[in-house]
Amino acid sequence: MTALRLDWDDLRLFLAVVRSGSLRGAAEQLAVNHATINRAIKRLESELGTRIFDRSPSGLALSQPGELLVPHAETMEQQIFDLSRKVAGVDERPAGIVRVSLPHALSQEFISPIVAKFARAYPDIEIILQITNAISNLNRQEADVSIRAAYEVTDDVVGRRLIRYMATAYASPQYLDDVGSLELGDGAGATWIGWDTQNEPDWIATSPFPKAGVRHCFPEVHSQLGATAAGLGLAWLPSFLADMDPRIVRVPNVEAKPNRSIWLLLHSDLRKTARVRAFVDFVSAQILNEQSRYTA
């Protein structure tokens, strides 16, 4: 029996079609043209001597041979990822690209000054920010480093829990003037700016102003900051971000409480990569050197 000669790049494109559900979707995902994807699928089918997709007016569906091919292609994909990480892990020179995933809340005032200082200290390292509230899969090399605000991290990665930050209630000065009884009672007559549409009752009940109503939904820190500055209501915000906004103030007599922690995460294979280690060490030092900013 003749041994199969399957090209990894064709298998990579095959997996993209499986995951996106169409040739067009795979082409958009990988930033290649439709014909490139189509040729890869035809080469695989020619080498295997069978169809791996059934085609119909409604689209593509995996054939039985195609279904058998998927786990083997995924195994090869993981082996490529593992090899790539291990090769990158022997890099000893602090130069090249570091891809950093972080949420929108940390993408402006928090990270920009740190990256600016880092760039001056390491001019041969380029930082590419991937700003997303989705959790990047470091095992699949979606990023080299992930900066995350979370209560805990359960991923199979190397993690540094840097600091647990405080949060408290904020409002615009004008809003505090309009509801001047806030510091005297339970917040009746005031309004919280909502975070989401499902967990508000539990959150409001344990807030400093449980009788305050809740209106609107601003499910992200920067939108909350803007809404608070515009006088829409009260907001419960991370102090290290909200204290930097001159448009708003802390609500008097409300105690700041511990909230999430800031984590730096990376895959264990990248611990010895010079450029990644340089970035992680630098960011850790910057945050820990400003502890009072996060814990006040």
Q: Which CATH architecture has domain 8-88?
A: Orthogonal Bundle (1.10)
What interhelical angle do 64-88 and 8-20 show, nearest 10? Answer: 120
User: Long-range CB contacts (< 8 A, 24+ apart) of 79-86?
Assistant: 80/8, 81/139, 81/140, 81/141, 82/269, 84/141, 85/141, 85/267, 85/269, 85/270, 86/269
Write down the pTM of the prediction. 0.65
**Rounded to an integer, what distance in angstroms lies between the CA atom of residue 113 and that of residue 118?**
9
For the record, the structure tokens of 47 come out as 């080498």
Cβ pair 51, 45 in contact under 8 A: yes
Cβ pair 148, 162 in contact under 8 A: no
The per-residue pLDDT string of the chain (296 residues; one tens digit each, 9 = 90 and over) reads 456 677 888 888 888 888 888 888 888 888 888 888 888 888 888 888 888 888 877 778 888 888 888 888 888 888 777 777 666 555 566 888 999 999 999 988 899 999 999 999 999 999 999 988 877 666 666 788 999 999 988 877 788 899 999 999 999 999 999 887 665 568 888 999 988 766 666 778 888 898 888 889 998 999 999 999 999 999 999 999 999 999 999 999 899 999 999 999 887 777 778 888 899 999 999 999 998 889 88
For the record, the structure tokens of 241 come out as 């971000």
| 3-class state of residue 150 by DSSP | strand
In the chain, domain spans: 8-88, 95-296
The CATH code that applies to domain 95-296 is 3.40.190.290
